Structure 1
Amino acid sequence: MKKKTFVLVIIALIAVSFSSMAQRVDRTNFKAGIHAGVPFGDISDYSNFEIGLDLGYHWALSELVDVGLATGFMNAFINNDTVDFGPVVVEGDFPNIQYIPVAAAFRLYPTYDFKLGADVGYAVGVNDGNTGGLYLRPIIGANVSGNTEINISYVKVSDDYDFSMVALGILFLF
């Protein structure tokens, strides 16, 4: 009798585990959103505002961990027609600084409403003269509703110059 009860409890626990993982996967598949950022470091000499698009696809490994892919578009607006490179001042029509990140994503969920994570990969330079570089984006997020998340992140692209910013974003989960 004890053995039969034990087997039934194990089967029930496995069923609950699979159903909760299935709910988790449904909640975190495709993500799309926007963010706005304030550049600092070298890039702050040329730009004071950035806006971007965030896209991602995540797979739940467990209730606590997601992995996935992240991409999107980042556009830092150049704030003047004169760029100062120390002793050299260059005048002209400078393009906005643009990147398309291609990254692996990792998220840790200490609670249902709170998440920590990072996107790590390469940011492809879009505008002329932009070579791209290593892309790193640690993120802290919170659920506003069942399918909406707000987040704050630090973005770093290791290019020929220091492209760094702090961004505030909103994501919609599908």
Structure 2
Amino acid sequence: MKKILLSAVAVMAFGYAAQAQESGFQAGIHVGAPIGDAGDVSSFNFGADVSYLWSVADNFSAGVTTGYTHFLGKDYDVPGFGSVKADDFGYIPVAATGQYSFDQFFVAADLGYAIYAGSGDGDGGFYYQPKVGYHIAEQLDVYVGYKGIAVDGATVSAISVGAAYKF
């Protein structure tokens, strides 16, 4: 937990040190299709995100991001037992984020740690999310991305689409 807090403080200090002329708060939502290891036990992914970015250079912003991402457990038919539902689970990412804009398009990436927020035993892990998106309006972005969380030799991942409103 100390590493997470120190990482967040370091990213925020970097943003202030860059003496950015503009800064911005963003809040968004995402939905996705679990793939790989997560797709074996989960049927759907959704969540919310918040970010604060500082303008570091022309067309480049960096900052911090967090939120919550939830994976719905799948239903399985087990002969002799009927239908069994896998448990839902979720993660709270704490990460650094960066975004580079090309006119109306942008590429972005989040890197950090995802804290397990499900019931029962579970571990957090390295969190990464590359994205490509489009600035629909001055205050609204849409994107498609790949979310991955490396956990104990497995990867909890999803292909997602999302939208973010800039305040």
> TM-score, normalized by length of structure 1?
0.76
In structure 2, which of residues 99, 105, 121 is the aligned counterpart of residue 114 of structure 1?
105
Q: In the alignment, what sits opposite 1:43? A: 38
Aligned residues with identical type, % of pairs: 30
| Counterpart check, 1:72 vs 2:67 | yes
Q: In the alignment, what sits opposite 1:30? A: 25
Q: In the alignment, what sits opposite 2:130? A: 138
SS of equivalent residue, structure 2 residue 57: coil
Larger Rg: 1
Would you say the 8 A contact 2:147–2:160 is kept in 1? yes
> TM-score, normalized by length of structure 2?
0.79
Decide whether aligned partners of structure 1 residues 82 and 131 sit closer, same or farther in structure 2, where only a CA change above 3 A counts. Answer: farther
The residue type equivalent to 1:155 in the other structure is K
The residue type equivalent to 2:135 in the other structure is N
SS of equivalent residue, structure 1 residue 61: strand
Larger strand share, 1 or 2: 2
Q: CA deviation at 1:82?
A: 6.8
Q: In the alignment, what sits opposite 1:126? A: 117
SS of equivalent residue, structure 1 residue 95: coil
Unaligned runs of 5+ in 2: 1-19
In structure 2, which of residues 155, 158, 164 is the aligned counterpart of residue 165 of structure 1?
158
Q: In the alignment, what sits opposite 1:6? A: none
Q: CA deviation at 1:66?
A: 0.5
| Counterpart check, 1:62 vs 2:57 | yes
**Runs of 4 or more above 6 Å deviation:** none
Would you say the 8 A contact 2:28–2:165 is kept in 1? yes
Distance 1:81 1:32 in 2: 35
| Number of positions where the alignment pairs a residue of Structure 1 with one of Structure 2 | 142
Q: CA deviation at 1:81?
A: 5.7
Q: In the alignment, what sits opposite 1:18? A: none
CA RMSD in angstroms comes to 1.8
SS of equivalent residue, structure 1 residue 129: coil
Would you say the 8 A contact 2:43–2:72 is kept in 1? yes
